[in-house]
Amino acid sequence: MEVARFIFSLFGINTYVVYDPATLECAVIDPGMSSKREYDALDHFIGRKNLRVTHLINTHLHVDHAIGDAYVQKKYGLPLEAHPADAPLGARAAEQALMFGITERAEAVTITSPLQDGEVIKIGNGVLHVIHVPGHSPGHIALYDKEDGFIIGGDILFQGSVGRTDLPGGNHNQLIEGIRKRLMTLPDDTIVYPGHGNETTIGLERAHNPFL
């Protein structure tokens, strides 16, 4: 599958469109759009590539990753797929928005299609495996494309860093243990597409990440 990245909002949040170029089905992951200009950027890409949006997935429900969920749900008529342990975060989206310094009103986010560890999401002929790695948030998941060798990692692992764990439900030791057991066991050349900043690989982080 192919991966397109958009950088949205004040937070420099990475929103990803993962698509199968053969069938043109796609998933929108962590929609961080919060203005008409940003909605248009996503929609124009989808239109230009002639994609059909078949999944809306959140790696976790921090508001910077979820603020565009309502728009995508309405526009493309999709359920929201995320891990149920983050449901309480979604319910407190408005409160979170203030905490993150977002001035626009955030709508509460409700998970309509709960995802569990080990589940498989089909996008055309492609497959994303759900890997639950809590610690940054209780229901944080990574999405692993084994065949094409990449993960959409949200705020678990960054180039030279790991997710912050000082927000409600955070747990540093749990995060580090999850990264070691579930992500560092993947092949070195696996590309990590994080929720903020540039991509990295499992091998580079294994060699250089000071938190691991």
Residues in contact with Zn ion by CB under 5 A are 62, 64, 155, 195
Identity of the residue, 13 or 121, whose beta carbon is nearer to Zn ion in the bound complex: 13
**Nearer of residues 63 and 186 to Zn ion, judged by Cβ:** 63
Closest-CB residue for Zn ion? Answer: 62
Structure tokens given for 97: 């928005």
Residue 11 beta carbon to Zn ion: minimum distance, rounded to whole angstroms: 6
Q: Which is nearer to Zn ion, 30 or 145 (CB)?
A: 30
Of 157, 133, 170, 128, which is closest to residue 145 (Cα–Cα)? 128
What dihedral do alpha carbons 125, 5, 208, 169 form, nearest 10°?
Answer: -90
- Whichever of 178 and 195 has its CB closer to Zn ion, that residue is 195
Q: How far is the CB of 61 from Zn ion (least distance, A)?
A: 9
Cβ closest to Zn ion, residue 167 vs residue 191: 167
Phi (first) and psi of residue 121, to 5 degrees: -110, 125
- E strands, the chain, where? 2-8, 13-19, 25-29, 52-57, 80-82, 113-114, 120-123, 126-132, 141-145, 150-154, 157-158, 161-162, 191-194, 200-201
- Supply the minimum distance, in Å, between the C-beta of residue 194 and Zn ion: 9
Q: Which amino acid is it at 30?
A: D
Question: CA dist 146 to 129, 186, 187, Å?
Answer: 8, 9, 9
Helical axes 69-76 vs 36-48, angle rounded to 10°:
40
Residue 59 C-beta: closest distance to Zn ion, Å: 8
Q: Calculate ∠ Cα 10-131-84, nearest 5°.
A: 70
**Alpha-carbon distance 138 to 202, whole Å?**
22
Q: How far is the CB of 14 from Zn ion (least distance, A)?
A: 9
Nearest approach, Cβ of 63 to Zn ion (angstroms)?
9
Task: Choose between 134 and 195: whose C-beta lies nearer to Zn ion.
Answer: 195
